[in-house]
Amino acid sequence: MKSTLLEKSFRILDRIASSPAPVTLKELASDLELNASTVSRIASDLAARNLIRKAGYHSFVPSTGLIRLGLDALETPLLRGASALLKERVSELGVNGVLAGIDAGRPVCLCAHEAGGTERRLPLPWDSPLVSVILASRGDPGQAEKFFDLFSADVVPRPDARARELFLQRFRAASERGFIAVQDPRLGWSVSFPVPAGTDIYGVCLYGSAAENRSIDRMQFECSRLASRLSSLFNERRQGRYEV
């Protein structure tokens, strides 16, 4: 199927937005397998609309227009409602919490709140239990390996065979149990549950430090309950019943 101009534009935007360094026209054309003149023309149009900007000779980085679009999306009534619900529960329980999804093979933190009321945008580690729960809930056994291969190529130092096996073990555990609970005397505890929303799958995690004296069974119950409430919220919005 022939790629449309709109699809090419989105692919270029995605490549530039996800790169930690400026991306050249040559890299865009090579990585996306697009004609160099097409890439140049689209990049010029995107720059004219302030979605990207030049960062050197024929290289580009995200501009304020693209950042504004992302921030505006995070302020939609639905995400505000989900964020408020997460904040309420972590405040009542005295724990930390994060709501996340996966897009184009990359973890996306939608909102995160700390027990003290601080809201943060957390970088979500590719090997976190929450990522495994979301992947497992999609019902495709091959997703974990594809995801690992995609991310391990960009991680320094590159994960070894043992890291791969641990990641796949966590994925299999999430597939069997439907959630993941971790209690480590050094790293702390966490409980992650999927949040189904129609054809989409999100995930919510409650977590805390090793110093906290928490009942992991109680946290499983609370996280499961929170996941159910978030799922209802997302599904009500899909059916047009959600009100601000």
pLDDT tens per residue, the chain (244 residues)? 356 889 999 999 988 988 888 999 999 999 899 999 999 999 999 999 999 999 988 899 999 998 888 878 777 888 889 999 999 999 999 999 999 998 877 888 899 999 877 777 667 787 889 999 999 998 777 878 888 877 766 666 777 888 888 888 889 999 999 999 999 888 899 999 999 998 889 999 999 988 788 899 999 999 999 999 999 998 886 655 544 3
Class of domain 5-67: mainly alpha
Residues of the chain with CATH 3.30.450.40: 75-238
**Which residue is listed with tokens 């320094």?**
156
Which residue intervals of the chain are DSSP H helices?
A: 5-17, 25-32, 36-48, 64-74, 77-93, 129-137, 143-152, 161-177, 216-238
The pLDDT of residue 86 is 95
Scan for tokens 């928490």, then name that residue.
Answer: 214
Helices (H) and strands (E) in the chain, counts: 9, 9
pLDDT of the residue at 107: 86
Domain 75-238 is classified in which CATH homologous superfamily?
A: GAF domain (3.30.450.40)
Quick one: pLDDT at residue 216? 93
The answer to whether the CB of 36 falls within 8 A of the CB of 20 is no
Other CB atoms within a 10 A radius of the CB of residue 73 amount to: 10
Of 199, 194, 191, give the one whose Cα is nearest residue 222. Answer: 191
Enumerate the CATH 1.10.10.10 domain ranges in the chain, comma separated. 5-67
CB 98 within 8 Å of CB 205? yes
Q: What's the rounded Cα separation, in Å, for the pair 41 and 177?
A: 50
Q: In what order do the strands lie in the sheet containing 52-56?
A: 23-24, 59-62, 52-56
pLDDT of residue 45: 94
| CA–CA gap between residue 193 and residue 86 (Å, rounded) | 13
Structure confidence at residue 187 (pLDDT): 85
Which residue, 106, 110, 104, is CA-closest to 154?
106
Cα–Cα distance measured from residue 109 to residue 231, given in angstroms and rounded to the nearest whole number: 16
Which strands make up the sheet holding 119-120, listed edge to edge?
Answer: 119-120, 106-113, 96-103, 200-208, 188-197, 180-184
CA angle centred on 13, ends 8 and 15, rounded to 5°: 95
Predicted pLDDT at 155: 63
